[in-house]
Structure formats: C-alpha cells, structure tokens
Amino acid sequence: MTEPTPAIREARGSHRVAGLLTLIEALVVLGFAVFYAYEMVTGATDDLARAATSGVLILVFGVALLVLARGWSRAAEWARTPTVLWNALLLPVAWSLHESDRTPVALAVGVVSVASIAAAVATPGRRRGGDDEADGAGARSDGGRRRDGLS
C-alpha cells in the first residue's frame, strides 16, 4: 500500500479547523477591501491614492489567505508556518484595538488568532519513518531518496 502524496492527503480535524478559521479571516479581510472600494466609488475618502493603496494591499492579503485556506483543505504541510506567522502578527493588532477602546473587536481578533495558532500547531507534521530517525542530524542514509521514488 502506498502513502498518498501531500497534494491528495486527507485533511484531518485540525486541518479543517485551521482551514475554516483561515477562510473566515480571508472573508473579513476581503470585506475590508470591498469597503475601501466602496469609499473610493462614493467619494467618501479624502485621499484617493491612500485608499487605493490600502485597498490593493488588503486585497493581496485576502487572496493570500484564500490560498492558505485552500492549502489547509488539501492538508498541505506548508500551510502551518504562514498561518502561525499571520496570526502571531494579529495579536499586537488585537492589543492595539483593546487599547483604543474597541474591546469587542479586539477580543474577536485575539480569540480567532489564538485558535488559529492552536489549530495550526495541532496539525500533524512531516514524519520520517524507519531508520531515518536514528540519524542524529536527520540525514537520510539513502542519499535523500525515498523508497517510493518520490523526492
């Protein structure tokens, strides 16, 4: 019996939770991009260049989060680090929101960030089997080739 490749590996519960939380974050961020577009169209902004720049930047982050959520849905191993990094960067944002008397929003951002970090860390990582774990530096004795022909 062969192991499934990472692209078609089955998503476990922690993958699903991390993916769902990342999808929620993506939708919220994309909502902000729509808000900036609305401000530009209605003329509600005083600085069109700043609103356009902010809107595009937020749109890029929203699309990146959608890609990340897709990675989680496919149980991709690469999704863990960007998820932890993104959500770790959101923790100071939550604190700043709290300091500016936006405590309900701060709590929402903080709770989702901590839950996303926990879900990402709870996902099973890459595991080496057999004699590979016995090597002190983790070097493979077969020259880096896997027995199943995948590198």
Per-residue model confidence (pLDDT) at position 144 = 52
* Amino acid letter, 104: P
**CA separation (Å) from 3 to 33, 35, 124, 131, 135?**
41, 45, 15, 18, 23
Whether the predicted pLDDT of 138 surpasses 50: no
Q: Which two tokens stand for residue 123?
A: 């996902």
- Decide: pTM greater than 0.75: no
Report yes or no on 4 lying in a domain.
no
* pLDDT digit string, tens, across residues 5-55: 544 456 678 899 999 999 999 999 999 999 999 999 998 989 999 999 999
Q: Is residue 149 part of a domain?
A: no
- Tell whether 1 is covered by a domain: no
Contact between 140 and 132 (Cβ < 8 Å): yes
Total count of domains within the chain: 1
Q: Which pLDDT score is estimated for 132?
A: 44
Is residue 146 predicted with pLDDT exceeding 60? no
Domain limits for position 88: 13-123
Assess if residue 139 is contained within a domain. no
Residue-averaged pLDDT of the chain: 83
Domain contains 65 = yes
Q: Would 128 be classed as within a structural domain?
A: no
Q: Which residue has better confidence, 124 or 105?
A: 105
Mean pLDDT of 107-135: 78
Domain assignment of residue 135, yes or no: no
The model's pLDDT over 43-76, given as tens digits with 9 standing for 90+, comes to: 898 999 999 999 999 999 999 999 999 999 999 9
- Taking residue 57's Cβ as centre, other Cβ atoms within 10 Å add up to 12
In a domain, 26, yes or no: yes
